[in-house]
Structure 1
Amino acid sequence: MPDSEKASAVLVPVSDTPTADETVRYAVDSADNNEIHFVFVVSKPRGRREGDAEEVLEKARVWADEVGTDASVRFEVLEPETYLFGPGDYAEIFAEYASENGIERVVLDPNYRVSATSPALQPLSDEIRSYDTLSVETAPIERPARRPSLLTRGGASRFTALFVLSYGFYLVLGSFLTFDLVTGGVTAAVVAVTLERVSFEASPTARRVPGLALRLAVFVPYLLREIVVANFRIAYVVLHPDLPIDPSVERFEAAVWGGAAVTTLANSITLTPGTLTVEANGRTLYVHALTQDARDGLREGALERAVRFVFYGRRALDYPKPKERQEREGDG
């Protein structure tokens, strides 16, 4: 046992990872008939993903039963009331649970994630070790983690589009001298060959690209205007003697579809002062809003509407606003 020779109850945080099954089996095998606690942390203050938790814990139950043990095994969902921003917050939740249940040992899945986007195992291990009452170890999984491939089907149209975009960007930053024309072409070709299979969700077509480019050209000035207006609003808040801020994390179900559209919306929200996209899970965005005006802006859905216009055209402008969709869900 890496951090402690003393047998004790075991805490095993679980999530949906490629190595979750082997982590569960290792924890059961190494528990020496001590009590085992499998826990799933739900880090959303609103719209909690209880379904995900129950599914993962049910899998853990099956894997534990396959190994077999005489120890007491518990499966718990931990639901903090505040948003967990990083490894330190997770470590605090684990330490509190461990203190309440007499746990001294933590076993971590080598692919355990503290967010939907990035693993942070080493910082989490370090944070847990900062609590003197806890020892921590990483399950010694021998097989490599299975990572989903990022590659998608490419083609000549993707290569051409990426080459043109890269070449144009290079020349904008450089010049039209012979040296820049040649090096820009070589650089753009390398970029296009390397990234053409991961840069587009669908192959660009001559019918779709011109309209998309035109709508994007309209969107950029609009976004810049929103950024400027939001800057003035935040400046007013900061300079106000009473500092009228009311921060919160809002769950926002975006009415856009596809990685490019969701990413554009999430980044646009982040670029606008007063709001920050802290996590994206499919079409569900978790946005930190600094003021009530910022929350109202999210519910009005002006940025969402603009992004829909870019990707889907004018026919998508009539889609209900976020607050209207929420009202309909509430009535239902």
Structure 2
Amino acid sequence: MKTALICGVSGQDGAYLAKLLLEKNYHVYGGSRDAQMASFANLDRLSIKEKIKLVSISINDFRSVLQTILKVKPDEIYNLAGQSSVSLSFEQPVETLESISVGTLNLLEAIRFSNLPIKFYNAGSSECFGDTGSEAADEMTPFRPRSPYGVAKAAAFWQVANYREAYKLHASTGILFNHESPLRPERFVTQKIVATACRIAAGSPEVLTLGNIDIARDWGWAPDYVEAMWLMLQKEVPDDYVIATGKTHKLREFIQVIFNSLGLRWKDHIRTDVTFFRPTDIAEGYANSSKAQKELNWVAKYSMEQVAQEMVKAHLVKTQV
């Protein structure tokens, strides 16, 4: 049996990845800054909390990282930790850079120091690319990030690439485009839309206030994407991969699908507010994940419409329980 350590196990991707690895008969350790006090609601929601060994690890502290690695001796480490909100990164740029970039560096250096044959996955982001216009970004597209979050993820990406080349670590980065699920917290716009639309459908008189609804993104299904993470670490040779559906939609299309599924006219319940606009933002995001399709035999199973509908269904079930 393989052993995996997931840093950031309490988040959306961490929870789905833990579930996948348990199904593949892994021993799964879940890392959190304070495993005794942290909320693991997502693990409870997937009914897997009791099957995971929870450990306290602060990836911003090298000693904490090294002690954990030497204790667990994992075959695979998945780095999904760090500040995960693009909008929040504009308010907390220092915390964002430290939690993502310094945390990744500590993990890489601790793996090197341990001299254990650990395979390492790093959660990259399409935010690294910035605004590529109508060009579909692939692994060779230059980085021009437009947010503190994107800058931090770009730094982490190059750290991983450097350790792979200089120290021969089996280290890979998945450059993931937007991926959603019912486990998203409401600070993410997709879940905010779902939760508000469901309340309106139940009789709430509120109006959904959003920023720029003309932005366009490639939205996928989170459980699909964690499978790609696992596939990367099963390759003999480490590498970086863009993970996406290849289909881009405007936010207003996502909104329309959600409201339509509830029998509502979205234009009757939406208003935009410029104070919700980000200082700098990506107008449109397009992706080319053909390398992952070819080398990992991975393809996204869910469309944006299916993702939106599944999120609505799950929210309705959750609120009825």
- State the TM-score, normalizing by the size of structure 1: 0.29
Q: Which has the higher contact order (CA 8 A, sep 6+)?
A: 2
- State the TM-score, normalizing by the size of structure 2: 0.30
Structure 1 or 2, whichever has the larger Rg, is 1
